[in-house]
Structure 1
Amino acid sequence: MDLMELFFISLGAAVVVYYGVKLLLFSRMLFPNLFFPLSKTFFTSMGEWAVVTGASEGIGREYAFALAEQGMNVIIMSRTKVTLDQVAKEIVEKTGQRVKVIVTDFTQEHIFSEIEDQLKDLNIGVLVNNVGMLPSFIPCKFLNSAELNQTITKVINCNVKTMAKMCKIILPGMENRGKGVIVNISSGVACIPFPMYTLYTASKVFVERFSLGLQAEYKDKGIIIQAVAPFGVSTRMASYQQTNLVTLSPEDFVKSSLQYLRAGDKTHGSIYHIVLGWLLQVIPPKVLYAESMQQSLQDYVKTRVAQRPSITAATKSVGNGRNERVI
Structure 2
Amino acid sequence: MLHGALALVGAWYTARKSITIICDFYSLIRLHFIPRLVSRADLIKQYGRWAVVSGATDGIGKAYAEELASRGLSIVLISQNEEKLHKLSKTLAQTYKVETEIIVADFSNGRGIYLLIREALQDKDIGILVNNVGVFYPYPQYFTQVSEDKLWDIIDVNIAAASLMVHIVLPGMVSRKKGAIVNISSGSCCKPTPQMTAYSASKAYLDHFSRALQYEYASKGIFVQSLIPFSVATHMKGHSFLHGFSWLVPSPKVYAHHAIATLGISKRTTGYWFHSIQFLFAQYMPEWLWAWGANIINNSVRHEALSHRL
8 Å CA contact retained: 2:191, 2:290: no
Q: Aligned equivalents of 1:44 and 1:75: distance in 2?
A: 18
Counterpart contact for 1:139–1:301, Cα < 8 Å: yes
Q: CA deviation at 1:299?
A: 4.1
Q: Residue type matched to 1:204 in 2?
A: K
1:244 CA displacement: 1.6
SS at match of 1:183: strand
Question: Corresponding residue for 1:130?
Answer: 132
Overall identity of the aligned pairs, in %? 29
Contact preservation (8 Å) 2:193, 2:294: no
Q: Does structure 2 retain, via aligned residues, the 8 Å contact 1:175–1:223? A: yes
User: In 2 relative to 1, CA 104–300 (structure 1 residues): closer, same or farther, beyond 3 Å?
Assistant: closer
1:248 counterpart letter in structure 2: P
> CA separation in 2, counterparts of 1:57 and 1:297?
24
Name the structure 2 match of 1:320. none
Aligned to 1:220: 219
> Is the 1:50–1:73 contact (alpha carbons within 8 Å) kept by the matching residues of 2?
yes
Query: Which 10-residue stretch deviates more, 297-306 or 264-273?
Result: 297-306
* Displacement after TM superposition at 1:304 (Å): 5.3
Match of 2:47 in 1: 46
CA distance in 2, matches of 1:180, 1:162: 19
Q: Is the 8 A contact 1:226 1:261 kept in 2?
A: yes
Letter in 1 for 2:185: S
- Provide the residue aligned with 1:191 in structure 2: 190
Q: Which amino acid aligns with 1:58?
A: G
- Sort the Cα spacing of 1:293 and 1:66 in 2 relative to 1 into closer, same or farther, 3 A: closer
The yes-or-no answer on 1:69 pairing with 2:70 is: yes
Aligned amino acid, residue 105 of structure 1: D
Deviation at 1:108, TM superposition (A): 0.8
TM-score (norm 1): 0.84
Compute the RMSD of aligned alpha carbons: 2.5
User: How many residues end up aligned between the 2 structures?
Assistant: 303
Contact 1:52–1:77 (CA<8 Å) still a contact in 2? Answer: yes
For the residue of structure 1 that corresponds to 2:109, the secondary structure is coil
Map of 2:99 onto structure 1: 98
| Mapping for residues 158-237 of structure 1, pairs under 5 Å | 158-237=157-236
Residues 192, 291 of structure 2: 8 Å contact kept: no
Q: Is this contact kept in 2: 1:156–1:203, CA < 8 A?
A: yes
After TM superposition, give the deviation of residue 42 of structure 1 in Å. Answer: 3.1
Q: Report the 3-state secondary structure (helix = DSSP H, G, I; strand = E; otherwise coil) of the residue aligned with 1:254.
A: helix
Q: Which has the larger displacement, 166-175 or 293-302? A: 293-302
Q: Could you tell me the TM-score, scaled by structure 2's length?
A: 0.89
Match of 2:151 in 1: 152
TM-aligned CA distance change 1:11 to 1:262, over 3 Å: farther
Q: 1:189 to 1:293 in 2, by over 3 A?
A: closer
